[in-house]
Amino acid sequence: MISDFSELKKLRQIAGLTQAELAKRVGVSQSFIAKIENGKIDPKFSIIKKIYDELLLMINVQDTAEKIMHSPVIIAHEIDDIISVVNKMENYNISQIPVVNNDGKLVGIIYDYTLLHKIVSSDIKRLTASKIMSPLPPLIQKNEPVNRILRLFSKYSVVLVIDDKLRPLGIITRSDLIGFLVKHKLEEPQ
């Protein structure tokens, strides 16, 4: 689920809607939209989904995941110790890292917040990537349309682009998607 509602503001602006216009379309007040965007309230999931669905109707991009994804994907192996995982995340300035098995197939993902919790609550000498990883986020193919990817970001912060053998080809974060949409909007003929 989204924790930083300022991203909704960016999507609303990309869609070319004012707070009042979005509020009218969703059936809430303009001040309610403002409070969401400023992080002053934590709305129900159903409201956020309704807002996202409305914004997605307004944003029409014909590109695919392949155009947005970062590749190659920085990965950790199941047997990597916590120090090497942390070093990779710091060296590449990333907040999540997919985990693969010996065959290079995805088996999980490590998020910075999960890592922080494990470091605080566990004996870190025994921690390996397999012991701190979370379940995989959505997995998509490189030809997945951007509009479908947008829907995933109402619930997830990252998606992984895979091949037919479950190996990572690319990664897309919310920031990547927003940056792509802003660039796409700026390139549109006015």
Domain boundaries, the chain: 6-58, 65-175
SS3 assignment, position 38: coil
Quick: pLDDT tens for 59-113. Answer: 777 789 999 999 999 999 999 999 999 999 999 999 999 999 999 999 999 999 9
Is the pLDDT confidence value at 186 over 70? no
- Would strands 158-162 and 139-140 be described as parallel, antiparallel, or unpaired? parallel
- Classify residue 4 as exposed, middle or buried by CB count within 10 Å of its CB (0-12, 13-18, 19+): exposed
Q: pLDDT band at 1, cuts 50/70/90?
A: very low
Quick: pLDDT tens for 38-64. Answer: 888 888 878 887 887 787 777 777 789
Is the pLDDT confidence value at 114 over 80? yes
Q: Do domains 6-58 and 65-175 have the same CATH topology?
A: no
Just give the CATH number of 65-175.
Answer: 3.10.580.10
Q: Enter the pTM of the model.
A: 0.74
d(CA 15, CA 126): 48
The architecture in CATH of the region 6-58 reads Orthogonal Bundle (1.10)
Residue carrying the six token digits 């914004």? 55
d(CA 185, CA 190): 10
